[in-house]
Amino acid sequence: MIYLNDDIAHFDWQAALPLLSEQRREQCLRFKHELGRKTCAAAYLLLCEALRKEYGIDETPVFEYGEHGKPAIVGHPDIHFNLSHCREAAICVVSDKPVGVDIESIHRYSESLARYVMSDDELEKILHAENPALEFTKLWTQKEAVVKLSGHGISNDMKTVLTSFAGDLQTVVTDHYVYSLTKPILL
């Protein structure tokens, strides 16, 4: 299930602090700027809402981290989740199978960065798109969601991420942000 808060501008992160686990509160307060604190708290509260609605879990989740830093909920290895946030929104996805999600604001892009992280076919798609920044953002969220699904994080070879992915990939575009969600195909 997808849980989304796209009203970050009005999110009161200070009021949210007592609702966070001590672990997440510390992580939230490490952000230097208010926007980082807002999105960190908002994403966590979406996870709390999802756990309550989908699994009947009322306690605040505490995370443990895998070898490459992918979080899992202590005591609930059967619940998979992923969090992401951007300037305008925070998103949480929960499932009984591994998932990955990424959300990004649509903004100008750097052609040199695109050349570094996109395959030749992807770069052509971006350069010939009516809105190259939007096309870059769509492809980038797809790549991020795929690497977050595996838990391996961003690698040196981002160009091949999508060509080697054999799962389900969904992308949603709004006026201000794009998000992509991945799930593996299980045989």
pLDDT in tens, the chain (187 residues): 999 999 999 999 999 999 999 999 999 999 999 999 999 999 999 999 999 999 999 999 999 998 888 899 999 999 999 999 999 999 999 999 999 999 999 988 899 999 999 999 999 999 999 999 999 999 999 999 999 998 877 766 889 899 888 888 999 999 999 999 997 655 4
Cα–Cα distance list, 137 to 8, 71, 115, 132, 178 (Å):
20, 24, 14, 9, 7
Q: Write out the DSSP string of 128-160.
A: TSSSHHHHHHHHHHHHHHHHHHHT--S-S-GGG
Using a 10 angstrom Cβ sphere, with 0-12 exposed, 13-18 middle and 19 or more buried, the burial of residue 116 is: exposed
Cα–Cα distance list, 14 to 19, 25, 38 (Å):
10, 10, 8
Using a 10 angstrom Cβ sphere, with 0-12 exposed, 13-18 middle and 19 or more buried, the burial of residue 72 is: middle
The pLDDT assigned to 76 comes to: 97
Cα gap 153→144, rounded to integer Å:
8
The pLDDT assigned to 185 comes to: 59
Cα gap 104→89, rounded to integer Å:
9
The pLDDT assigned to 117 comes to: 93
Cα gap 51→71, rounded to integer Å:
15
The pLDDT assigned to 165 comes to: 87
